[in-house]
Amino acid sequence: MSAIRSAVAEHDASRPAGPDAYEPSRDAGVTRRMCAWCEQAIPPSARRDAVCCSTRCRQARHRFARTVGTPAVAVDPGRPLRLAYADPPYPGKAWLYRDHPDYGGEVDHAALIAHLTGYDGWALSTSARALPAVLALCPPGVRVAAWHRGERPTASRWPLSAWEPVIYHGGRPVDPGDQRVRRTDSLVHGVAPMTTLPGRVIGAKPAAFTRWMFDLLGAAPGDTFDDLFPGSGAVARAWTAFTDPSRVDARRLTDEPSRVDALLQTRRLAADPSCQALHDASALTSHATPHHGKEHAR
């Protein structure tokens, strides 16, 4: 229970340093620019517009943000939601985190799940072995998604675990007619040592997992997102990148030409009878001709 209280008290979606992060220097009247990735001081010799302390940090930050991406549809989602994600030490594995400053022993999953039910949508990571016991504590209506991360190379008498369940509930539904939005309850993404992630801990989730989890909940800019067990802070970093107004606006501008082109094409077909007849004939032909191969498999 203490682990839950400490984690909830310390979550902060604004934790990662932004491009304008500064810290007072020990020298009076001098401020130091802080790296937007590792949160260390940027060398005084760096360019004035530099937001990272080194090429390594700049590249790591760029790759991370590119993988997280932006919302599939940059539109007003309506009522903002309160969302949360919990990635606690899995049952029986708390000892792996005994050197972590937030360590509080085994997590009381009953209390944790009771806390999560106060949100509009939430997701909870656990292990395949613990799934039956954790599910028994969940309210009706939860669903289980699967992250196929691949097996860990080790000797075992039994089949190696190659996936992790994510229990989720609530969130935001999306328009099923919008072909730009495609959500699945399964992610196939291997893991590798995240050597460039500051403050990494055992079990830290990769950026691709975090983006997938955002999609499971239908998260969008304007929502609030609480990471109840921050660990390395990767989820907070991902949420900051996912909802960055400059990146979302850029996505909206990129999508706009395609929508304009489609509208102009529709108007041309409506104004030109010959184009309309050709369009209708091709449509009839496509329906009359059977499809074969991958184009038919949807």
Q: What is the 3-state secondary structure (H, E, C) of 27-87?
A: CCCCEEEECCCCCCECCCCCCCCCCCCCHHHHHHHHHHHHHHCCCCCCCCCCCCCEEEEEC
Give 123's strand partners.
Answer: 85, 168
Q: Indicate if the alpha-carbon torsion angle 43, 192, 73, 79 is positive or negative.
A: negative
Q: Residue 128: what pLDDT?
A: 94
**Residue 275: predicted pLDDT:** 45
Please report the pLDDT score of residue 196 as a whole number: 60
Higher pLDDT, 142 or 57: 142
Mean pLDDT, range 103-123, rounded to an integer: 94
When computed from its CA atoms, the radius of gyration of the chain, rounded to whole angstroms, is 23
Q: What is the mean pLDDT of residues 56-63?
A: 80
**45 vs 274 pLDDT, higher one:** 45
Q: Rounded CA gap, 143 and 166, in Å?
A: 8
Amino acid making up residue 245: P
Q: Cβ-count burial of 220 within 10 angstroms (0-12 exposed, 13-18 middle, 19+ buried)?
A: buried
Q: How far is CA 172 from CA 183, 216, 293, in A?
A: 12, 9, 34
286: pLDDT confidence band, cut at 50, 70 and 90? very low
Assign 66 a pLDDT band (cuts: 50, 70, 90).
confident
Confidence of residue 77 (pLDDT cuts 50, 70, 90): low
Average pLDDT, the chain: 75
Per-residue model confidence (pLDDT) at position 207: 87
pLDDT score of 35 more than 60: yes
Burial class for 176, CB neighbours closer than 10 Å (0-12, 13-18, 19+): exposed
Average pLDDT, stretch 129-135? Answer: 96
pLDDT at residue 54, rounded to an integer: 81
For residue 246, which of 51, 19, 39 has the smallest C-alpha distance? 19
Percent of the chain with pLDDT over 90: 30
231 vs 148, more confident: 148
**Least confident stretch, 78-82, 172-176, 264-268:** 264-268
Q: How confident is the model at residue 70 (pLDDT cuts 50, 70, 90)?
A: confident
pLDDT of residue 295: 38
Q: What is the pLDDT of residues 140-181, one digit of tens each?
A: 999 999 999 988 778 888 888 899 999 999 999 887 877 777
Sign of CA dihedral 181, 184, 190, 192: positive
Q: Is the pLDDT of residue 114 over 70?
A: yes
Query: Per-residue confidence at 31, pLDDT binned at 50, 70, 90?
Result: low
Question: What's the rounded mean pLDDT across residues 62-75?
Answer: 74
